[in-house]
Amino acid sequence: MAKIALHALLTAAEGKAAELEAAVTNLVAASAEEAGLEVYAACVDTTDANKIHFFEIYTDDAALGVHGSGDAMKAAMAPLGDLMDGGPAISFLRPFAAKGLEV
């Protein structure tokens, strides 16, 4: 089975960067309920603190398909919309080589 990777860029609404970072921290904690989610890493952009980059790796399409459907993830995702300036910019990727990860 081919793994699926995803990059998502979230941009905080004006004055909401710290709140978005806290909400994303809760989201990462809630992701523990997703067995097929292997990597769920959030990073603040070093050139713009209003931008948070997510890097995600899923075991397969099925794991990606159920992402966010659990109760903890739904609750953690709920406040994000009010903290962001628009929706996330998402890129779907196919990993082929990595250090520290089996792809």
Residue 98, in any domain of the structure: no
Q: Smallest Cα–Cα separation from 37: which of 59, 69, 70, 8?
A: 59
- pLDDT score, position 103: 86
- pLDDT score, position 9: 98
DSSP string, 70-94: SHHHHHHHTTHHHHBSSPPEEEEE-
- pLDDT score, position 1: 67
pLDDT in tens, the chain (103 residues): 689 999 999 999 999 999 999 999 999 999 999 999 999 999 999 999 999 999 999 999 999 999 999 999 999 999 999 999 999 999 999 999 999 988 8
Residue 36, in any domain of the structure: yes
**What is the domain range of residue 32?**
4-55+69-93
Q: Which two tokens stand for residue 38?
A: 């292997």
Number of domains in the chain: 1
Residue 17, in any domain of the structure: yes
Residue 103, in any domain of the structure: no
Residue 34, in any domain of the structure: yes
Which pTM does this prediction carry? 0.92
- Evaluate the CA torsion angle 100, 44, 5, 81 in order and state its sign: positive
List for the chain the helix, strand, coil content (%; round to 5). Answer: 30, 30, 40
Q: Which two tokens stand for residue 20?
A: 């978005």
CATH of residue 50's domain is 3.30.70.100
